[in-house]
Amino acid sequence: MLTFFRYNWVVREQWYQWCEELTHEELTKERTGGVGSILKTLFHIVDVEWSWIRVMNGKPDFEEPFENFSTLEKVRELDAKFHEEVAEFVDAWNDSMETRPVYTERQDGTIEAHAWGEIVRHVIAHEIHHIGQLSVWARELGRAPVSANLIRKGLISPNL
């Protein structure tokens, strides 16, 4: 699990760097799919990751509107602000946490129980899903997307 969080963080940083070459208009242009724009998608990834970690830790959810973070610099700053808490949680992960319950309220008022292991894997898959959307948009812009390849990202070294 730790490897996939680190993978997402490396790829996210590569996307931030990729986005530096785009105009603000291209970053905020409404697009088909995802959550509407490249910048909103990056914000959404950061928001969902941190929000779920906070929920598992019994802390309040993040509910700031995107409009408060409507530049690439502000999304990166928000990500950096949240990253320490997320990394601390991920680094402390152990097998005893897999089935710990967290209770969430659905829109209809019913309560659901989820295992922490299910939630952390959702967070990982959620980001990978949205990174795929960014890749589609990159191709629509005529630009090569960030590589989704886990190999050569320096995440796991062989014992030689």
Q: Which two tokens stand for residue 1?
A: 């699990």
DSSP 154: S
Condensed to tens digits (0 to 9), the pLDDT of residues 73-102 reads 999 999 999 999 999 999 999 999 999 999
User: CA 5, 8, 40 angle in degrees (round to 5)?
Assistant: 125
Instruction: Please give the DSSP secondary-structure letter assigned to residue 2.
Output: H
The model carries a pTM of 0.94
The mean pLDDT of 122-136, rounded to a whole number, is 97
Q: Which of helix, strand or coil describes residue 54?
A: helix
Angle at 138 between CA 132 and CA 141, to 5 degrees: 150
Domains and CATH numbers, the chain: 2-140 (1.20.120.450)
Confidence band of 129 (pLDDT split at 50, 70, 90): very high
pLDDT band, residue 60 (cuts 50/70/90): confident
Question: How far apart are the C-alpha atoms of 17 and 152, rounded to whole Å?
Answer: 18
User: Does the pLDDT at position 62 exceed 80?
Assistant: no
Contact status, residue 23 vs residue 38, Cβ threshold 8 Å: no
C-alpha closest to that of 133 among 51, 72, 44, 57 = 44
pLDDT, tens digit, for every residue of 8-53? 999 999 999 999 999 999 999 999 987 999 999 999 999 999 999 9
Percent of the chain beyond pLDDT 70?
Answer: 100
- The span from the CA of 139 to the CA of 130, in Å, is 14
Rounded-to-integer distance, Cα 1 and Cα 92, Å = 12
* pLDDT tens-place string over residues 95-110: 999 999 999 999 999 9
Residues 143-160 have pLDDT tens digits of: 999 999 999 999 999 999
